[in-house]
Amino acid sequence: MDLRAFQARIAATYGAKDAARGRDGTFMYYIEEVGELAEALREPASHDLPGEFADNLAWLCSLAHLAGVDLAAAAAAKYGAGCTHCGQDPCGCATKP
């Protein structure tokens, strides 16, 4: 499944709940998931690390849907040509931007 299809799946599955919760409430759930990912990165043996990454992507897709943003298009527009600073792929910047 590609990113556009995943965003559509999340919107179809959770869109009504997300809309009722609103962007602010959905953003708070996303931030909570970011914290859970941070814990999983620190202690991967005691957490479902792949699951936490998936949860974060799902909540990000929910937020994008509520904001009317096509994540696949946004990512391609910003990062599709390589580094956003030097334009190379891989990045050829001397220091980390």
- In sequence order, the 6+-apart residues with CB closer than 8 A to the CB of 47 are 36, 39, 40
**The domain made up of 3-79 is a member of CATH 1.10.287.1080:** yes
Domain ranges across the chain: 3-79
pLDDT of residue 97: 57
Please name the amino acid found at residue 45. A
Query: In the prediction, which pLDDT does 20 show?
Result: 98
The pLDDT averaged over each successive group of 10 residues in the chain (97 residues) is 97 97 97 98 97 98 98 96 93 79
Of the candidates 61, 69, 36, the one whose C-alpha atom is nearest the C-alpha of residue 50 is 36
pLDDT, residue 95, reads 72
